[in-house]
Structure 1
């Protein structure tokens, strides 16, 4: 009888290893299992969990996550923590608009929910992904004590590290999986600071032990000097400003566009800024939503516009419908300076937020049935993509963080959409080169679907810089196929 039971156990285990996602995760909190999502008809290709991890406090801090188990082999595939930027923006930005398991189609009738389809380029094809709303106060993360919403880089890193330790306690079957941290934009600050805390925790014997292997940052801020000096060369290289403007800026600013050295330098930088102002700063190739005045309408050809757009008082021009609705993930423009950072809600009081919208995510995530399905607490209030925190950049430049992390044996991929004007690749390319590592694979094209998808340069210490051709600030949103290609190759340690 005992032998019979043992044989059944072995057979059951073998079947589960073969049919990974059909078997329940051994210790996963079943109360957090997501069994359906309004707007989606069909079977999930893997297990989904969502809920809260409570951090100590009186009252506690409640950090919300949505976990998508790998569609391939959750027992073996890497676990990746995804962080969107802001600071103060929800990681549902990545879930809805970038590399989550679904693509979102606008509702076919007014007041309806978006229609969800399986995303063929979801990163969960090859890895398990944790989408975390961080810091507390962002997205569905909340506390009854709103003074906790005053935070900064170092506190956010410490609390996210605590989240990870508690999360792996909830999901102990994943502690042996390779673990990576990934994100974009202001996550260029979140990620190195968090990675440093994770490594310190490992050295200090924190339990459970996190099997940390490395991190990847997309279009991320890093250093005020490099980021601040990136825009002018980028604009010139992309043909957005004239050669004369560029030469004048070079002479008057002496190559220092970050801290203008005199009034003449400031004047030419202001002139350049005015030229670039109406471009979509997140992708210079994309159209941009603008408010227009009477002079604008009078001075352009309005043939083909509906009559209402030619009448007095009309302030908005229509844009073509896009299959993917673009979100926001950066307050305004790099660089980021030390001190309190103005966030989206504060900026919106002074400027018109250009080019982007988050309509589909806002409709879907504020629907009562959706919130119930994903176990979002009513106490978290209305979901919005970016919230009004009092956030201080107190970690300084990330150059020393990257240097310490890469010299300690951790793998790093820094990638840039090459048409992003918010955090231009020119600055990222410059700071990655400034680390001084030996080039082990010189600048070359990389391909996806037999087409050149960008360019790559690999350095010693498993440190890689990669561009994505034609992509903007949120790379997987613009180039989903290519993004899955480089993500899956890199995370498996294969040549891209």
Structure 2
């Protein structure tokens, strides 16, 4: 039997290179060969570094890519965005659905272990710090840190176009965008940039298929009017208090309300002040040295707000999610207040010490090709560096546009989140007006109910995750990987 010709062998080798992402196909200087604090082999190749979106100011966005542990050549490419605005997507990377999480009892330089429920099990997943000024992303021109929804979306689109130029082997892979909280704004506005680019024939063409968003900030009326009814439904306030505030507010619990209604709403917030608003089932870590800012401009009588014999403000809660701005300070439009800039070090009830210690280590920064602290400052889970304007309004019209165009959309909610309660999310999903094709029913993980779902025509799905809070993969990692895997595969829940 004759040996294959050199030309045939060369053609076969070329085809394999085109089909299989390798270190040679990706930029060599972005390959992550090891991480301080982690001992062992990576389950797949990892890449990280900067993509410059504006040469004049060296405005550069930082990403970390974990290739799929299953089949990187065929599996989807999924972008992950944390919210805030101002929250680093390393929050998702180390606390939620990334390839690693921290070992218990870590000291000094925290130790990492593999996450058995990483979303890289079934997809190529990329974490992006956006906009510039957040996480490891930066600009040499600090005026770039004055930004908003539209500029953030435009920069993220520029990032994607340049990223796909760096990684041409992924041009044909299905591409999805994912994230949580204020990513409920980031994702639809970025999707709009991507879709308009596709329609204009912009190259490289992104093989965009849809998006999924968890506990999405979407529309202030739907999102924040659900707070008081949700608190009552979960047994957090009495029926008497609920009926009192409902009568005073005439069923509207957010926005342009009179002084009496506002005081009644603030009494509800006061009753719930010691809860972890991001997961009412989770503990809330107190830190008496940090002063509470949430009630600084409260209309509650001082006698009601007095603590013991002092007029000292309330003690703040510690580790915070950094995934959504302060609940009561959200605006219909205009400048968004950053919680650290209001006096809190970070968001209430959460602790980011391990992530900060790890990402501020210069050895870690060198390993992931990030700039040093001396150039871009300390890593912050939730930063006040940016001056951010919410300038797009409701996202409901965006969702209607993309589903009408045939893109797949999954809106999911942890059902114990008091920050963006699921009834408000369910209400705006229903308001789009699509026909129900899969009526409300439980979905299962193993033989247990994992939550509830309702499917609509035009590939729109609403899903709850039982017992989860604002950051669903953090609280329910097994169930999160399950619904994520099924949705990407197009399987019915």
TM over 0.5: yes
Offset from partner CA, 1:210-237 (integer Å, 9 cap, x none): 0000001100100011012010110011
Equivalent residue number for residue 222 of structure 1: 218
Choose the corresponding residue for 1:429, options 415, 426, 429.
426
Call closer, same or farther: CA 1:11–1:199 in 2, change over 3 Å.
Answer: closer
Equivalent residue number for residue 405 of structure 1: 402
Equivalent residue number for residue 126 of structure 2: 130
Choose the corresponding residue for 1:438, options 435, 448, 459.
435
Q: Is the 8 A contact 1:182 1:215 kept in 2?
A: yes
Matched, 1:32 2:33: no
Offset from partner CA, 1:37-67 (integer Å, 9 cap, x none): 0111111111100011011242221111001
Q: Is the 8 A contact 2:360 2:379 kept in 1?
A: yes
Choose the corresponding residue for 1:139, options 135, 142, 154.
135
Call closer, same or farther: CA 1:59–1:316 in 2, change over 3 Å.
Answer: closer
Call closer, same or farther: CA 1:138–1:292 in 2, change over 3 Å.
Answer: closer
Equivalent residue number for residue 79 of structure 1: 77
Choose the corresponding residue for 2:479, options 465, 482, 489.
482
- Residue 383 of structure 1 deviates from its aligned partner by 1.1
Matched, 1:340 2:338: no
Using the alignment, how far apart are the partners of 2:320 and 2:11 within structure 1? 48
Unaligned runs of 5+ in 1: 294-314, 320-324
Offset from partner CA, 1:15-50 (integer Å, 9 cap, x none): 8899x6xx7255210110000001111111111000
Equivalent residue number for residue 310 of structure 1: none
Q: Is the 8 A contact 2:284 2:317 kept in 1?
A: no
- Residue 8 of structure 1 deviates from its aligned partner by 4.4
| Secondary structure of 1:3's aligned partner | coil
Q: Is the 8 A contact 1:413 1:464 kept in 2?
A: yes
- Residue 278 of structure 1 deviates from its aligned partner by 1.0
Using the alignment, how far apart are the partners of 1:108 and 1:332 within structure 2? 30
Equivalent residue number for residue 61 of structure 2: 63
Call closer, same or farther: CA 1:292–1:104 in 2, change over 3 Å.
Answer: closer
Call closer, same or farther: CA 1:316–1:59 in 2, change over 3 Å.
Answer: closer
Choose the corresponding residue for 1:364, options 358, 362, 366.
358
Question: How high is the TM-score relative to the length of structure 2?
Answer: 0.89
Choose the corresponding residue for 2:237, options 237, 241, 254.
241
Matched, 1:375 2:376: no
Using the alignment, how far apart are the partners of 2:256 and 2:132 within structure 1? 36
Choose the corresponding residue for 1:173, options 169, 173, 177.
169
Call closer, same or farther: CA 1:15–1:177 in 2, change over 3 Å.
Answer: closer
Matched, 1:462 2:456: no
- Residue 353 of structure 1 deviates from its aligned partner by 4.5
- Residue 259 of structure 1 deviates from its aligned partner by 2.3
Within 5 Å, which residues of 2 pair with 1:83-232? 83-106=81-104, 108-109=106-107, 112-232=108-228
- Residue 3 of structure 1 deviates from its aligned partner by 3.4
Using the alignment, how far apart are the partners of 1:273 and 1:102 within structure 2? 36
Equivalent residue number for residue 4 of structure 2: 3
| Higher mean displacement: 2-11 or 399-408 | 2-11
| Secondary structure of 2:140's aligned partner | coil
| Higher mean displacement: 334-343 or 180-189 | 334-343
Call closer, same or farther: CA 1:29–1:292 in 2, change over 3 Å.
Answer: closer
- Residue 449 of structure 1 deviates from its aligned partner by 2.2
| Higher mean displacement: 5-14 or 371-380 | 5-14
Question: How high is the TM-score relative to the length of structure 1?
Answer: 0.89
Total equivalences in the alignment:
464
Call closer, same or farther: CA 1:317–1:204 in 2, change over 3 Å.
Answer: closer
Using the alignment, how far apart are the partners of 1:292 and 1:107 within structure 2? 23
| Higher mean displacement: 375-384 or 275-284 | 375-384
CA RMSD of aligned residues (A): 2.4
- Residue 275 of structure 1 deviates from its aligned partner by 0.8
Q: Is the 8 A contact 1:106 1:114 kept in 2?
A: no
Using the alignment, how far apart are the partners of 1:134 and 1:55 within structure 2? 11
- Residue 396 of structure 1 deviates from its aligned partner by 0.8
Q: Is the 8 A contact 2:356 2:380 kept in 1?
A: yes
| Secondary structure of 1:49's aligned partner | strand
Call closer, same or farther: CA 1:448–1:336 in 2, change over 3 Å.
Answer: farther
- Residue 85 of structure 1 deviates from its aligned partner by 0.3
Using the alignment, how far apart are the partners of 2:237 and 2:87 within structure 1? 31
